[in-house]
Amino acid sequence: MKSSEVGKTAVIYARYSSERQNEQSIEGQIRIIKAFAEREGYNIIDSYIDKAITGRTDDRPSFQKMIEASKNHTFQYVLVYKLDRFSRSRYDSAIYKKILSDNGVRVISATENIGENPEGIILEAVLEGYSEYYSKELAQKIIRGNYDSRSKGLFTGGRVIYGYRIVDRRYVIEENEAEIVKRIFDEVINKKKLVDIAKGLNDSGIPYVGGDKWDEKKLSSMLRNEKYIGIARFHDSVFENMVSRIIDDSVFKEAGKVLDRNKHKCKVKKDYKFLLSGKIYCGDCETLMYGHSGTSRAGKLYLYYKCKNAVNAHSCSMRPVKKGFIEDFVVNYAIEYLLSPENITKLANDMVSYYNQFIDDDVQIKILEDALKETETRLNNSLKAIQMGIINKSVADMVSSLEKDKDTMENDLLRLKSKTKAKISFDQCYQFLLSLAYPDTKREENKELIINKLVKMVIVYENKVGVVFYPCDTLNVKANNNDDFGGNGSNDDGQNSGNSSSFGGSNPITFGPPICSCAYI
């Protein structure tokens, strides 16, 4: 093992996603990760394992524990077998990598040789994109299969609602519960409060599904569920042959009207997401700017980023900058600067060479072969001990365990060596990069993905915006004279207030880790 470097403390994250995979899948992932860690000098202090849970969701107990543990700053790396073990959703992957990054933690793939240079950063996005595509393609196949089953009136899984049972994959009315359903609808129509209905059912010892207690939420959900009038919905499709009705249409509609009348209408303040929060700084005083909302006398809503010192201490003259403008400006510049047609062609060529060299190198096979050799050596030593008369339960158990490991590794090697090596073509890389270069930037999630993935820091001046890109270390300067800089502020002298700042010129950023150079707009 290499001598551990300072700051190379790591944890393992592994998962398998279905019953068709098994414990061996986890063991195989961990074995390869540990071999990688041994070779590269990572000190593993803990492991987080999710079993039979898909990577398309972030609702994974061990995954969330790992994210929470990163706040304690006890490790600097998360080691995964492949990036798709971390997440099959590019959106979730970007969000959680940003959280980990803020906590000083990086995600490292043991089998995908991804560097920190520009090609490596984009390659990571490509691999995550392919993983998400595979996951969505599989989901579409499942949806098609479920559609066919539902067309035949068959139950396709999920929680069975109150009033029904599943017999031979079909909904069957449970008569006793059906009477309770009718009673509930009648009581609602007769203006009885949901809290009183729930209390009456619980006091009568009538259990809900799974023995749970009744409450207003369960009742409200029941009263809105169209299955009780024989309608089952699946995505955009309606199936009327799956569920036998318990309630008449007129009763269902009247109960819905009662719920609508009783619903408390109150204004809920919208939770506006300021995408540059924690990344946007004032170029005058080098203080963080923060998101702010306000309403004019005419009722028009304004969303701004404001300098903290300009608002609180009145020690800075920087005017507010409109949220929509600055976020669009940064997103569009990130695309223009990093994913220009010339850059796309160069990056696509570099990625093909970079990735296919990794495929040719068969890193995963080499790791397995090294692990197999070590296992065979330990097995031979154990057998020699037995031949010398050292026979006890611990030696016998060790031999049995090593033989199983050896068989598993040999099977994994055969599988890997028999697989056709899936190389990436220039066209694949080029088309994928084009999709990154021309996203629908009106969609909030696409803006957020680009900002989280490509933008490290934004510095606002009176007529310039500085942007720190991952992992850009060159400077480009372009003035911005757009009138959207300045909400209700009055400073409009047109001077470049950022010239004397430590952000300015070719100077490095002087605060906040990590130190990085920036590109000006």
- Chunked in runs of 10, what are the mean pLDDT values of the chain (521 residues)? 57 70 62 88 90 55 88 90 62 66 84 54 51 50 60 73 87 93 94 92 90 89 91 75 89 90 54 83 84 81 85 76 87 77 76 63 67 83 75 74 78 62 71 69 73 79 76 40 42 34 37 29 31
- Alpha carbon distance 126, 137 (integer Å): 16
What's the pLDDT score for residue 4? 38
What's the pLDDT score for residue 170? 85
Q: Identify the CA nearest to 254 among candidates 210, 198, 190.
A: 190
Give the amino acid at 277: S
What's the pLDDT score for residue 198? 93
Range 480-510 burial, b when 16+ CB lie within 10 A, else e: beeeebbbebeeeeeeebbeebebbeeeebe
| Cis upstream peptide for 471 (omega within 30°) | yes
- Alpha carbon distance 173, 171 (integer Å): 7
Overall size of the chain counted in residues? 521
- Residue 280 vs residues 144, 213, 304, 306, 459: alpha-carbon distances, Å: 45, 49, 12, 10, 6
What's the pLDDT score for residue 506? 37
- Alpha carbon distance 323, 276 (integer Å): 9
Using CA atoms in the order 316, 319, 320, 326, what is the torsion angle rounded to 10 degrees?
-110
Residues 477, 500 contacting (CB under 8 angstroms): no
What pTM does this model have? 0.36
